[in-house]
Amino acid sequence: MPARNNVHVPSESWPFFSWYVIEFAVVISIAVVIGWQTSPLFEDSVVMYGWECEQVSQITDCSTSDEPEMQQTMLNWIFWGIVGMVFAAWYLGIRRLVWKRKVL
């Protein structure tokens, strides 16, 4: 039986860059889950007591509130920092050991 040069080979026709897209999606989803699960650990460290101020003639009378308020913006920075650290750890350190090939 003669060999043909127009045979479809699936492993050669699959776009190579799509493996990088799949890897990126998996890494970013794992990083977001790790950040989401670990950010509640930092809630106690970002508590701030707000100020309650009253204007009395030209003098402003300010006192701290009794209820602590959590700074959501700081928690957002912590969350995305954790995501970034996991992402950077994979692409700069772990990936080189696991796949043994260059990133780009």
pLDDT per position as a tens digit, 87-100: 999 988 888 788 77
Tell the residue number behind the tokens 């999606």, with chain if given.
Answer: 25
Average pLDDT over residues 34-60: 76
In a domain, 97, yes or no: yes
pLDDT exceeding 90 applies to what percent of the chain? Answer: 28
Higher-confidence position of 71 and 14: 71
Residues 36, 79: contact at Cβ < 8 Å?
A: yes
In a domain, 38, yes or no: no
Residues 62, 52: contact at Cβ < 8 Å?
A: yes
Residues 4, 67: contact at Cβ < 8 Å?
A: no
Residue 88 domain boundaries: 72-104
In a domain, 33, yes or no: no
In a domain, 61, yes or no: no
In a domain, 29, yes or no: no
In a domain, 15, yes or no: no
Higher-confidence position of 78 and 10: 78
Q: Centre a 10 Å sphere on the Cβ of residue 79 and count the other Cβ atoms it contains.
A: 17
d(C-alpha 91, C-alpha 99), whole Å: 11
Q: How many domains does the chain have?
A: 1
In a domain, 67, yes or no: no
Q: What is the pLDDT of residue 102?
A: 59
In a domain, 99, yes or no: yes
d(C-alpha 34, C-alpha 25), whole Å: 14
Q: What is the pLDDT of residue 7?
A: 62
